[in-house]
Chains A and B, each alone.
Chain A
Amino acid sequence: MDTLYIKKSDIPSWWNAIKAAHDHVVAPVRKDKVVEFARVESYEQVATDYIQTTRSAKEVLFPRTERLFSYKKNGRDIEVQDFDPESVPSQVLWHVRPCDAASLFPLDAVFNWDYKDVMYNTRRERTAIVATSCATADEYCFCTSVGGGAGDTRGSDILLTYTADGAIAEVMTEKGKSLVALSQNLFTEYTAGDKDKYVADVPRVFDVEKLKEKMHGMFDSQVWKEQSERCLGCGACAYVCPTCSCFDIQENPKGSCGERLRCWDSCGFAQFTLHTSGHNPRSTQASRWRQRLMHKFSYIPQRQDSLGCTGCGRCSRACPVDMNIKEHLSSIDKIQ
């Protein structure tokens, strides 16, 4: 790992070099009241005055809707057109939060668990991640409680930490190095000490290791009903979550042509587990809420050696009835 330094005034030229070298640069952009990731053409478009984007950066690798294949019927013949890896551009994800970068671990695990998902992996390979340490946080943030931090480098190819007049660049991977190499002359060694003073202080509110252990035995707890009582059963939390990866397969036939699509889905919906028979194994919102938390804090850790939550707080911000996950986890933590 190299720790380098770049002057504030030099960042735009480095950015331009990156933009010139890669097809797409994706960065947070302000639209009215919300900030969302979007393809940007100039450095000025990048938004910095926000705590968190509404949606996470996962859709760069796992789009809301993506085509698995298309087909065309010709009389009795059928011609199928498969996913073409060559169609995936090389891209740079700029100015993501460390909590988003950290979310790639559980996503990588899901898409490579038994079946290796070509579409996800191709995008993953062709995407470089330049994250930015958080200088500010709000009451929804709890990255430190789930093993991350406002200056955490996990998942990033480069982590930038802004100082008063420049940025500390922690170059973590070869991909990162090649991005630096585009403007090597702008970087200097950084030796001025700890970055911590430039990074937001996010208080730790529970011990995640204890929590994981405790939740393992909590399947039949009353807490799920109590916590989920006000849940309305929408999909907002799952759709804004950086690690939620449930999807649904849909057909889009148009006469003799058509395509098969993969679309986001959410375990919060009542229909998610509805069987054709009419039976629904998760028939109550309490069981669906339990699934959401158990999945993130019990099932994923058991199988994939990572947590299913990075403490970004998006679900809490998006929830129409203020289901605050940090608060709910803390209260589980406090159960004796």
Chain B
Amino acid sequence: MAKKVVVEATINGEQTEFLCEPRQSLLEALRDILELTGSKEGCLTGDCGACTVIVDGRPLCSCLMLGVEAQGKTIETVEGLAQPDSLHVLQQKFLEHASLQCGICTPGFLMSAKALLDHNPKPTEGEIRYALAGNLCRCTGYDKIVRAVADAAQTRASGTGRGGRLGSGPSASEQTERFLQGQEVK
């Protein structure tokens, strides 16, 4: 068996060192080694998004990244979202809008939504749906999730009324065109 490797990474703001086998995914490293079980395993093929974490500012599926690849990276997981005395606005809005039923997909959605709002504080409904399309939810039909993210953006945009417009913006199929026209806030 291949020998284990020491990996150093910044996880939720903490300098972290862990020992893992090269064949272990980042998801396994987080869940089985670091006991951060908030990131969930849904498919191991990058199709459900339940294991979504943010690495160096980008959302990705931790099941499709090796733990050893995390060397020197900055990683955010759902466990790092809340402050000791307060929830992240996205967490708060997911609760207020009843956006979770079983809750297994919620950590992944929260991380994808955070990555979106970090890059684009005032997304349209179309932009929200595009950003969340890599996360599957089987309980909600997405309605209340989209509403929560829009509301979170609006709350953050402190009532400018600009953020999180429902029923506004391009349809799903127009997203790519928008990128080319450079309209997408990145």
- Asked if A and B are interacting partners, one says no
- Please list the residues of chain A having a beta carbon within 8 angstroms of any beta carbon in chain B: none
